[in-house]
Amino acid sequence: MATLDVYNHSGDVIRQKELSDELVDAPVNEAVVHQCIVAYLANQRSGTASSKTRGEVIGSGKKLYRQKGTGRARVGDSKSPIRVHGGVAFGPKPRSYRQKLPKKVRRLGFCSALADKFQSNECLLIEDLALAQPKTKDMVQVLNALNLKGKVLFVLGQQDVNVYLSVRNIPQVNSCTWDILNVYDILWHDRVVLTEEAAERLESKLVQSTSGASEES
């Protein structure tokens, strides 16, 4: 079990919390993390780009001028890909870029990314982020108290509208709940701040999944 400090809104350590080694000290598999990032970015592509072939361009199929005797290069109709406003040769068509990853691969990539943040001291625990009202100034004070700079991600145990509204106006600072956290969000942000509730839920999910996978094998 790893022991981590738990901070409050003022940046003071109020207690220590033990988290499972599967969450904090897990080995980092860079190849799997890379595979998860590639799949995530590929799945964000809409794949709706489309161009017209020479058969889809509106126009006459008549040969523009005779083949020989003009002193010019031979030419076909106006829909030829080599002419302006003609069709596109080998152009894009609607397609799916989606990549499917097995559950075990996604889980391993997620554990590796989160463990890397813990081991690099770029992930910390906070007691909670309960705000009486949505106020960006209060969230800025929390960031200053915890000495958080750059891209920061707050991970909550459950959805909190006040936190969302307080964070959205701060550049490069975001919030999400623990159940929608992904590898890309973890790596894109410089610092990750977990509430105690979010850490407990992640630990419960990941440790349970790991134990279940080991029993299957």
Residue 176 resides in a domain: yes
Residue at 145 is within a domain: yes
CA torsion sign, 51 to 55 to 57 to 62? positive
Six-digit token pair at 205?
A: 């999910």
Whether 210 maps to a domain, the answer reads yes
What CATH number is attached to the domain comprising 185? 3.40.1370.10
170 assigned to some structural domain = yes
Q: What is the dihedral of CA 53, 58, 62, 63, to 10 degrees?
A: -50
In a domain, 180, yes or no: yes
Task: Look at residue 18 and tell me if it is in a domain.
Answer: yes
Q: Give tens-digit pLDDT for 148-184.
A: 999 999 999 999 999 999 999 999 999 999 999 999 9
The answer to whether residue 17 is domain-embedded is yes
- Residue 56's pLDDT is what? 94
48-52, 109-113, 164-168, 211-215: which has the minimum mean pLDDT? 211-215
State the amino acid at position 25 in one-letter form: D
Q: Where are the alpha helices (DSSP H) in the chain?
A: 21-24, 30-43, 103-119, 136-145, 161-167, 183-188, 196-216
Residue 79 domain flag: no
Residue 133 DSSP SS3:
coil
CA distance 182 to 150: 19
How would residue 1 be classed by pLDDT, with cut points 50, 70 and 90?
A: confident
**What is the enclosing helix (H) or strand (E) of 19?**
strand 13-19
Domain, as residue range, for 196 = 2-26+103-216
Q: What is the pLDDT of residue 129?
A: 87
Query: What's the domain count of the chain?
Result: 1
Pairing label, strands 2-7, 123-126: parallel
